[in-house]
Amino acid sequence: MSAIPADSYRVEGGVPLAGRLKPSGSKNAALPELAASILSDRPVVVRNLPAIRDVETMLGILESLGARVTRFEGGAGIDASDIDPGRLDIPLCRSIRASILLAGPLLARFGRLRMPPPGGDVIGRRRLDTHFLSLEAMGAEVAADGDCYRFTSSGLRGAEILLDEPSVTATENALMAASIATGDTVLYNAACEPNVQDLTLMLGGMGASLEGAGTNRLVIHGTGGLLGGCSHSTAPDHIEIGSFIGLAACCGGELIIEGVPESIVSPTMNGLGRFGLETVFRDGDLVIPGGQRLEVQCDRGGAIPTIYDAPWPGFSPDLTSTAVVVATQSTGTSLIFEKMFESRLFFVDKLVAMGATIIQCDPHRVVVAGPTPLRGTDVSSPDIRAGMALLTAALCAEGPSIIRNVHQIERGYENLVERLSRLGAIIEAGPPRQA
């Protein structure tokens, strides 16, 4: 058998997957929580960190600032008592989207920083205006400085802020900055995703005073000074859990996901449940029974249903790619409407090459008719979530597949080859890509 290409998985599909797995810590909670360590000059410990590339990159950025980082299995300790915003590693910041989360904490603590536009997945326009407008409302000035942005402030002050969109990262940036600003801040139209809620829990453990966690109105009573240290455990990743629900639906075996909070599953099933998929809770674990017959649940009168994403508690945009793959294995026709990112559905041509019946109406909408048997092929992962969706398709397809560019998937999912192999998947990894 030929060697597996670098930065690739070789998958033999058509094998039912079954067993138990433990969800990782949330990527989208871990990254702002690491950024929040900047708000203290005392040790901060974050546990249950996912072992993924983006977390390691964020730790590297903190080290570039001068933070002392102690890594241990499943977590890290951060001492940011002697950091300097002038030492920020610009190339590292350009490599991940989450680097923008440093703007609020660094500006609130030091009153100055220079950083580039963040990197991340190419899934459409990802505007930064909401970040800038919220920080400017608290007294910051933001200006272009060559290929970077320069942030300055003589001291952030609390304000009433209506976010022009419920951006998760802009909410987190404003939340962190307001925690050590002077005076009270009220955030309207705030994001309330589980990762935002987990960040508020950590900030409260550091001594911040906050109200309204889990709602779209957050009140932050600024301390006017640095927060204390804490030890915090990152919540389970609801996006990973949703991805594995979709994987179980397509591959047919019974999957048990351990220790899943019921509150984070309902919004996911508002989307994936439209394909007739059922889940149950048993002794605190989420069970996706095997052998389910997937069938599109039509709207009343037999109309084709629309599965669309929305801010929490709507169906997550990070799971629309998975929903497309589940739709290919479901009896009936459905419309998938990705409202938030205009390039996220551009991966569907790869599913068509695998045998799926999909019509792309425009950048935001696809019509999927199923079920269609998929066949293995050679595809490349364009981003984290589309990559996981393509891996799901390969695992339920007949024959071998090569999934390339898998460093994208590994930015958001930890130890996939090992974890999937324990479920019965036939999957091997090639050597890592050259840096």
- Picking from 233, 266, 298, the residue at the C-terminal end of a domain is 233
Residue in the structure block whose two tokens are 């997550």:
316
- Picking from 187, 202, 233, the residue at the C-terminal end of a domain is 233
Considering the domain architecture, whether residues 296 and 404 belong to the same structural domain is answered as yes
Predicted local confidence at residue 131, as pLDDT? 92
Residues 31, 102 contacting (CB under 8 angstroms) = no
Predicted local confidence at residue 2, as pLDDT? 65
Task: Give the global pTM.
Answer: 0.92
Contacts (Cβ under 8 Å, ≥6 apart) of 326: 246, 249, 250, 272, 275, 277, 294
Binned at pLDDT 50, 70 and 90, residue 339 comes out as: confident
Q: 142 is in which domain, residue-wise?
A: 27-233
What residue type is assigned to position 133 of the chain? Answer: L
Predicted local confidence at residue 146, as pLDDT? 85
Predicted local confidence at residue 126, as pLDDT? 55
Contacts (Cβ under 8 Å, ≥6 apart) of 429: 4, 8, 9, 406, 417
For the cut 70, the answer to whether the pLDDT of residue 125 exceeds it is: no
CA–CA separation, 107 and 152 (whole Å): 7
Residues 243, 271 contacting (CB under 8 angstroms) = no
Considering the domain architecture, whether residues 163 and 35 belong to the same structural domain is answered as yes
CA–CA separation, 15 and 395 (whole Å): 7
Considering the domain architecture, whether residues 294 and 407 belong to the same structural domain is answered as yes
Q: Using CA of residue 238, residue 27, residue 205, residue 221, what is the dihedral sign?
A: negative
CA–CA separation, 243 and 238 (whole Å): 9
Question: pLDDT tens digits for 57-109?
Answer: 999 999 999 999 999 999 999 999 999 999 999 999 998 889 999 999 999 99
Is 193 part of a structural domain of the chain? yes
Considering the domain architecture, whether residues 131 and 246 belong to the same structural domain is answered as no
Predicted local confidence at residue 3, as pLDDT? 86
Residues 88, 58 contacting (CB under 8 angstroms) = no
Catalytic (active site) residue 121: yes
Considering the domain architecture, whether residues 208 and 313 belong to the same structural domain is answered as no
| Structure tokens given for 95 | 């490599």
Domain count, the chain: 2
SS3 149: strand
- Name the strand (E) or helix (H) holding 185: strand 182-188
Question: pLDDT tens digits for 296-312?
Answer: 999 988 899 999 999 99
Considering the domain architecture, whether residues 336 and 357 belong to the same structural domain is answered as yes
Binned at pLDDT 50, 70 and 90, residue 122 comes out as: very low
140-146, long-range: CB within 8 Å, 24+ apart, which pairs? 140/107, 145/114
For the cut 50, the answer to whether the pLDDT of residue 157 exceeds it is: yes
Considering the domain architecture, whether residues 103 and 53 belong to the same structural domain is answered as yes
Specify which residues 148 forms β-bridges with: 145
Considering the domain architecture, whether residues 268 and 205 belong to the same structural domain is answered as no
Residues 230, 223 contacting (CB under 8 angstroms) = no
Binned at pLDDT 50, 70 and 90, residue 123 comes out as: very low
Q: What is the rounded average pLDDT of the residues 413-429?
A: 95
Binned at pLDDT 50, 70 and 90, residue 412 comes out as: confident
Considering the domain architecture, whether residues 54 and 128 belong to the same structural domain is answered as yes
Residue in the structure block whose two tokens are 């649940």:
297
For the cut 70, the answer to whether the pLDDT of residue 1 exceeds it is: no
Is 152 part of a structural domain of the chain? yes
The CATH number of the domain holding residue 81 is 3.65.10.10
Specify which residues 269 forms β-bridges with: none
Question: Which whole-number Å values give the CA distances from 139 to 50, 132, 161, 309, 352, in the listed order?
Answer: 35, 11, 12, 34, 50
| Structure tokens given for 24 | 């990782």
Is 261 part of a structural domain of the chain? yes
- Picking from 215, 233, 251, the residue at the C-terminal end of a domain is 233
Q: Using CA of residue 199, residue 202, residue 208, residue 209, what is the dihedral sign?
A: positive
For the cut 50, the answer to whether the pLDDT of residue 425 exceeds it is: yes
| Structure tokens given for 28 | 């989208």
Q: What is the rounded average pLDDT of the residues 367-387?
A: 94
CA–CA separation, 101 and 121 (whole Å): 16
CA-based angle 81:83:86, to the nearest 5?
A: 160
Contacts (Cβ under 8 Å, ≥6 apart) of 1: none
Question: pLDDT tens digits for 5-61?
Answer: 999 999 999 999 999 999 999 999 999 999 999 999 999 999 999 999 899 999 999
Contacts (Cβ under 8 Å, ≥6 apart) of 112: 85, 150, 151, 152, 153
**C-alpha 183: how far from its chain's center?**
31
Considering the domain architecture, whether residues 378 and 422 belong to the same structural domain is answered as yes
Considering the domain architecture, whether residues 260 and 349 belong to the same structural domain is answered as yes
> 10 or 435, which is more confident?
10
- Name the strand (E) or helix (H) holding 412: none
- Nearest Cα to 333, choosing from 356, 362, 363, 309? 356
For the cut 60, the answer to whether the pLDDT of residue 394 exceeds it is: yes
Considering the domain architecture, whether residues 127 and 274 belong to the same structural domain is answered as no
Q: Given the residues 54, 79, 121, 198, select the one marked as catalytic.
A: 121
Q: What is the rounded average pLDDT of the residues 227-235?
A: 97
351-360, long-range: CB within 8 Å, 24+ apart, which pairs? 351/324, 351/325, 351/390, 351/393, 353/377, 353/379, 354/379, 354/393, 354/394, 354/397, 354/401, 355/397, 356/328, 356/393, 357/328, 358/324, 358/328
